[in-house]
Amino acid sequence: MIRLSACLAALVLASCASPGASTAPTTPVAQAEDPYLWLEEVEGERALAWVEQQNARSLPVLENDARYQGLLNAALEVAQSRDRLATGQVRGGYLFNFWQDPDHVRGIWRRTRLADYAANRPRWETVLDIDALARTENANWVYQGADCDPSGTRCMISLSNGGLDASTDREFDLTTRRFVDGGFVVPEAKSNLGWLDRDTLLVATNWGEGSLTESGYPFVLKAWRRGTPLSSATEIMRGEASDVSISVSTFEDESGDHIAIAVEGETFFETVYSLISAEGPVRITLPRKSTIHEFFNDRLIVTLEEAWTIGGQTYPSGSLLALPLSHATLAAPRIEVVFTPNARQSIEDVEATRDAILVAGFDNVRGRLQRFTFSGGQWRGEQIALPPTGVVSLAGASTSESQAFATFEDFLTPPTLYALNGTRAASVRSLPAQFDASPYVTEQFEATSADGTRVPYFVVRRRDTPMNGQNPTLLYAYGGFQLSQTPSYNAYIGRLWLDQGGTYVLANIRGGGEFGPDWHAAGLLTNRQRIYDDFFAVERDLVERRITSPRRLGISGRSNGGLLMGVMLNQHPEMVNAAIIGSPLLDMLRYDQLLAGASWVGEYGSPSVPEQRAFLEQITAYQNLRPGENFPTVFIYTSTKDDRVHPGHARKYGARLEELGVPFLYYENTDGGHSANANLREAARRRTLEYMYLTQRLID
């Protein structure tokens, strides 16, 4: 698939806003010079001293709790469990999988024959041991992925220093299981690579001064021939410094035909595609808001993120289309409709096998898997029967194979792997439960937002939970970038929260993709208050249903969800007694100047555009921070090595709270990248800190 690529006091119910009330944005604050810019120096001595001081102050509050070690032990059991489904990439008769466990903390890249995998008798061969490589090279390597050439024997391996988005890319031989002497090596950068053929690599990388966009990504694409220095690579095309990035994606269809497509991301959501041919790049006729997923039956398989009118015909937003490759660069291409979702459906993933297109999606946030074939000039679709209560994910498919794999899970059901043959789904392996789900039940409700929109949310609770408003409840949401929040199995939630007496809530607010591109578009730019109104509506609905109360309600979000937390704390601090703010965006007047921030202007708007800046001044969590008596003690976490969302957001927010004398907890992991997880042990530790905090705030 091609896509740019990344909230104290208990209040009585009567004090909450009425269901139909609109939420007024925060009054914009007068601008003054930021006194905490020094905290944006990621590795600055003064900044790191502040981080060390905050960690030393905050961690004992959580880690010295008598219950902490028990929670940590449970989290480690989850993180290091070997009972996980080994899914991955199908290629050349093998399934390739990246695996981490207590013996392989950094992980191993391995493979097994497809037939053995489908029979649940995998015989794994280690292809590359990242722990051993890191020891040998005395490096802090984190595996970031592999991209293999059309023959399937040479792969570019991406290795990151400590979890950064930037990686070093090195050519690896699957036959010898060694890095290729004198092979392709692209130095550390936020690069994007693709194979034109066995001896030609398409490279978008940091070519030196003036070659990166304002977002820090490359905008020049070159072809690099084997045996020549990288500096001699020939330019194929270039974008603009104002673009988000330029990248390349490659595809093989079921006949083995190989194509390469240049992807010029003009904004995060607007893309120009060009087919790379011997004559150079030729633009593909598609709207700027669209995604090319696959190359199948000599056709590009595409979803639309906006309605498209061409040749007198309008194709709705969210549609799945096929464009014959021979027509794709024509001004008026032939277009075939594969599937058009309704207003409460979405398409989440599209993958091709030798015989069909597989489409995973949602129907009212319940998983659905469809299979589409092309015959006699017509597309025909059938549904593959899988349980309807959770999420269905594609877990391995290739145009070289008829067989594919999918998984099913829900909040209380561990993942099951299915082998797909035609429309038949045969269970291969079901994971054992990591917590006892029998006391719990999942329900789906809807809250009514300020503009009347119905906003669904899930509640996972004990069956015997009394509806007395006293249930410790964690509400999680994201609300951005068309990323859907799914009813998935999470043993951390089960072991560290449900089993401690907590209730878990997942909100499907606007900004996500649960109901397709329009659900996302409804909250873009200056319409973003709708997202916050949706979240407030869910908070209020939980209280009105007496599932919980502000004294027992905690909220959590990370990245864009961290911004959501900051906004909700400013707009409705009275609704919660705990808030986890993870790897957040919080300074929305400088976000576009920090690391990859400029790439998100299509989501949030630009502080340089007066109308958009006026709205950003209303929602920016950092500048509008004015804690009152209802402001809870929050828990903020980030990572020093997050080179996507700048750790300065979290640091400055904490410093401002400190200046105001407001209690808060802060944890900055020095490794881990944007996920804030350097390895399995750190993943367990971070989650333990979160749930220890929630226990102290909501259960005690």
Active site positions, annotated: 559, 674
Q: Which residues contact 525 (CB under 8 A, 6 or more apart)?
A: 603, 604, 605, 612, 615
Q: Which amino acid does the sequence have at 257? A: D
What does DSSP assign to residue 696? I
The token pair that represents 409 in the structure block = 């899970």
Cα dist. 521→307, 393, 479, 530 in Å?
A: 12, 24, 11, 11
| Closest to 384 in 3D by CA, of 396, 367, 369 | 369
Residue 141 host element (H or E): strand 141-148
Q: Which amino acid is at 255?
A: S
Cβ 405 vs Cβ 86: under 8 Å: no
CB 216 within 8 A of CB 190: yes
3-class SS of residue 158: strand
Angle at 167 between CA 162 and CA 170, to 5 degrees: 120
- Token pair 């973003």 in the structure block, residue: 528
**Residues 6+ positions from 121 with CB-CB distance below 8 Å:** none
Q: Give me the residue label for tokens 């792997």.
A: 417
What is the DSSP-derived secondary structure letter of residue 699?
A: I
Helix axes 560-571, 529-544, angle to 10 degrees: 70
3-state secondary structure of 396: strand
Q: Of how many residues is the chain composed?
A: 700
Q: Please give the full DSSP string across 566-585, using - where no structure is assigned.
A: HHHHHH-GGG-SEEEEES--
Per-residue CA distances from 195 to 155, 252, 273, 290, 585 (Å): 9, 11, 17, 23, 35
Alpha-carbon dihedral sign for residues 127, 133, 135, 140: negative
C-alpha–C-alpha distance, residues 536 and 9, integer Å: 17
Asked whether the beta carbons of 564 and 479 are under 8 A apart, the reply is: yes
| 13 vs 547: CA distance, rounded Å | 12
| Sheet (strand 345-352) strand order | 345-352, 357-363, 367-375, 378-383
Strands (E), 364-484: 367-375, 378-383, 391-396, 404-410, 413-421, 424-430, 440-448, 454-462, 473-476
Phi first, then psi, for residue 154 (nearest 5°) are -120, 135
